[in-house]
């Protein structure tokens, strides 16, 4: 289990820090911190994320104020994902983040833990036992020249939910059926599915963010299906809207698709893991769901 035991702790914690699980209302404040850090979270993400593992969201409080946070979401008996590792700017360099991390990480048990690290923190995570796997690149911009989606692309309805969740499991390291259902049907989210001979051959979701819209996930059997889904989703945001998506660096076809639609690289993170990654079909991944929950 990662501990960050060898990570630098510039100063000892001053004042008593209490780390507890966070209620849904607590996490709205953390989401605002993420927005302040220009992570550009989706509007309404908290309502979808928190029920995935309510015991996996942690905040640190000192003198009655929330000062730190981290999420450690258990997806299965073998896989967890870490995100939202944040300390309020007024309380940094006091050891509060590290103390919060140490209190929260036992929640993952012996599971492999994944995360998306900002480059400045990569070496800190390496000292904690995380190994870099690849870069995740955020592309963004105003899509240029999306075509008319083919008839195979249709809105997701209740009749598609089970099949889409099953398809998602092929592309993600754990079964997250309940999360997928929330993600597909959340207010403000628009979901499209690509059907080939009545079977799911891809799906995608677009949602409003603090800036523009974010597409994720975008999973598809082929580049052509992914392009059709992208065009259908981007069209719902309007012709002047900025669109962002996070693409695994090794997925050259996905990066090419983003480029052909007029998007450009904006930033990157480093996907890291603590152990063996449960299998998932990355060849179908044209954009991840989020950097916060994987």
Do residues 108 and 35 share a domain? yes
Do residues 104 and 217 share a domain? no
What is the tally of structural domains in the chain?
2
Q: Residue 205 — pLDDT band, cuts 50, 70, 90?
A: very high
Beta carbons within 10 angstroms of residue 48's beta carbon: 22
Do residues 257 and 147 share a domain? yes
Give the separation between CA 194 and CA 39, rounded to whole angstroms: 29
**In this structure, is residue 7 part of a structural domain?**
no
Mean pLDDT taken over the chain = 92
**CATH code for the domain in which residue 276 is found:** 3.40.630.90
Do residues 83 and 184 share a domain? no
Question: pLDDT tens digits, residue range 77-106?
Answer: 999 999 999 999 889 988 999 999 999 999
Across 60-75, b (16+ Cβ under 10 Å) vs e yields: bbbeeebbbbbbbbbb
Q: For residue 94, which phi and psi values (nearest 5 degrees)?
A: -125, 10
Residue 242: alpha-carbon gap to chain centroid: 19
End-to-end Cα, the chain, rounded Å: 19
Question: pLDDT tens digits, residue range 15-54?
Answer: 689 999 999 999 999 999 999 998 999 999 999 999 999 9
Do residues 109 and 167 share a domain? no
Contact 40, 281 (CB under 8 A): no
224, containing H or E segment: helix 223-237
Question: pLDDT tens digits, residue range 214-258?
Answer: 999 999 999 999 999 999 999 999 888 999 999 999 999 999 999
């Amino acid at each position: 289990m990662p501990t960050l035991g060898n990570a630098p702790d510039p100063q000892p914690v001053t004042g008593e820090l209490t780390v507890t699980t966070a209620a849904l209302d607590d996490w709205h404040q953390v989401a605002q911190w993420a927005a302040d850090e220009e992570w550009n979270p989706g509007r309404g993400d908290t309502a979808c994320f928190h029920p995935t593992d309510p015991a996996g969201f942690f905040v640190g409080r000192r003198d009655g104020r929330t000062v730190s946070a981290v999420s450690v979401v258990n997806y299965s008996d073998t896989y967890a994902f870490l995100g939202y590792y944040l300390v309020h700017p007024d309380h940094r360099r006091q050891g509060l983040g590290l103390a919060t991390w140490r209190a929260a990480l036992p929640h993952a048990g012996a599971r492999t833990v994944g995360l998306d690290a900002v480059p400045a923190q990569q070496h800190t995570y390496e000292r904690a036992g995380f190994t870099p796997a690849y870069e995740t690149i955020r592309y963004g911009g105003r899509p240029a020249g999306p075509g008319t989606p083919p008839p195979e692309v249709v809105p997701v309805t209740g009749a598609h939910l089970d099949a889409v969740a099953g398809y998602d499991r092929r592309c993600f390291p754990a079964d997250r059926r309940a999360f997928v259902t929330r993600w597909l049907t959340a207010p403000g989210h628009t979901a499209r599915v690509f059907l080939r001979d009545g079977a799911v051959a891809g799906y995608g979701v677009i949602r409003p963010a603090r800036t523009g819209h974010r597409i994720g996930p975008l999973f598809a059997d082929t580049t052509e299906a992914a392009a059709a889904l992208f065009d259908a989703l981007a069209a719902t945001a309007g012709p002047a809207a900025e669109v962002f998506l996070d693409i695994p660096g090794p997925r050259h076809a996905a990066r090419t698709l983003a480029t052909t639609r007029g998007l450009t690289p904006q930033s990157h993170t480093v996907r890291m893991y603590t152990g063996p990654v449960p299998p998932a079909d990355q060849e179908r991944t044209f954009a991840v769901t989020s950097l916060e929950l994987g």
